[in-house]
């Protein structure tokens, strides 16, 4: 597996990079990729079907000039920013390691992450909800997936040293939530791992045997996607 440790300047470019890597593998130019990136500024990311008006405190975001964008994968709305470590996996859909369904893929990838992160952290990591990783019932990672014909994108966030109180001000408590959340506010539901990001990166590199650097980054496609899709207000406000 190839590895790309790359944080681009803006939110739109970073979201576009994930899709560009998926397209790169879908075209057959690359096979599988693991990417890491760490946001430089706060921004909101809606899930593909998320509703902006009911899930985001829009007036607060406007006052604080926190951008709101939308990703092409499922899952709920999140706040990104400094103190988050993001990873993106592009895998072959027809893998001998997992079945053809979204649920089987989720189970395979998250089980691998639970094991490798548990060993790296020296703590018991659990899978709860559909795609959450938790410690002691507190969520530190959310994940989502997008599938194409031959390849899939599975990406997620680790809360490492994040400003969790800012989430309270930015995002509403979701109407749809996993039973284990029990309607807890963000501050009582989320946790930071408080470890070096390099520890998490090394754990995932080893888990996926990512030991070769991606030499050709698709910058032109990233620019196109950032301009045409991720910076497009019609895309952001589609629901």
The domain that holds 51 is classified in CATH as 3.30.930.10
- Per-residue confidence (pLDDT) for residue 133, from 0 to 100: 98
Domain total in the chain: 1
Strand (E) or helix (H) holding 21: helix 11-26
pLDDT 10s digits, 160-196:
999 999 999 999 999 889 999 999 999 999 999 999 9
Q: What is the rounded distance in angstroms from the CA atom of residue 222 to the CA atom of residue 227?
A: 9
pLDDT band at 90 (very low <50, low <70, confident <90, very high): very high
Q: pTM for the whole thing?
A: 0.95
Q: Is 227 left (phi over 0), alpha (psi -120 to 50) or beta?
A: alpha
Domain that holds residue 74: 2-236
Nearest to 90 by CA among 11, 219, 208, 197: 208
Q: What are the structure tokens assigned to 6, written together?
A: 């790359």
User: pLDDT tens digits for 106-158?
Assistant: 999 999 999 999 999 999 999 999 899 999 999 999 999 999 999 999 999 99
């Amino acid at each position: 597996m190839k590895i790309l440790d790359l944080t681009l300047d803006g939110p739109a470019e970073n979201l576009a990079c994930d899709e560009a890597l998926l397209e790169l593998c879908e075209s057959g130019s690359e096979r599988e990729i693991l990417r890491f990136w760490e946001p430089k500024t706060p921004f909101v990311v809606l899930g593909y079907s998320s509703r902006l008006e009911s899930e985001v405190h829009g007036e607060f975001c406007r006052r604080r000039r926190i951008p709101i964008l939308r990703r092409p994968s499922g899952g709920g709305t999140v706040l990104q920013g400094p103190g988050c470590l993001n990873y993106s996996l592009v895998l072959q859909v027809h893998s001998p390691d997992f079945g053809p369904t979204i649920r089987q893929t989720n189970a395979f990838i998250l089980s691998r992450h639970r094991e490798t992160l548990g060993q790296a952290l020296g703590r018991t990591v659990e899978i709860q909800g559909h795609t959450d990783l938790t410690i002691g019932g507190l969520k530190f990672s959310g994940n989502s997936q997008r599938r194409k014909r031959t390849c899939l994108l599975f990406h997620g966030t680790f809360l490492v040293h994040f400003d969790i109180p800012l989430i309270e001000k930015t995002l509403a408590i979701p109407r749809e939530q996993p039973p284990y959340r029990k309607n807890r506010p963000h501050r009582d539901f989320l946790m930071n791992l408080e470890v070096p990001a390099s520890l998490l990166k090394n754990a995932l590199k080893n888990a996926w045997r990512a030991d070769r650097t991606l030499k050709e980054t698709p910058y032109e496609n990233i620019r196109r996607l950032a301009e045409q899709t991720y910076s497009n207000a019609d895309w952001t406000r589609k629901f």
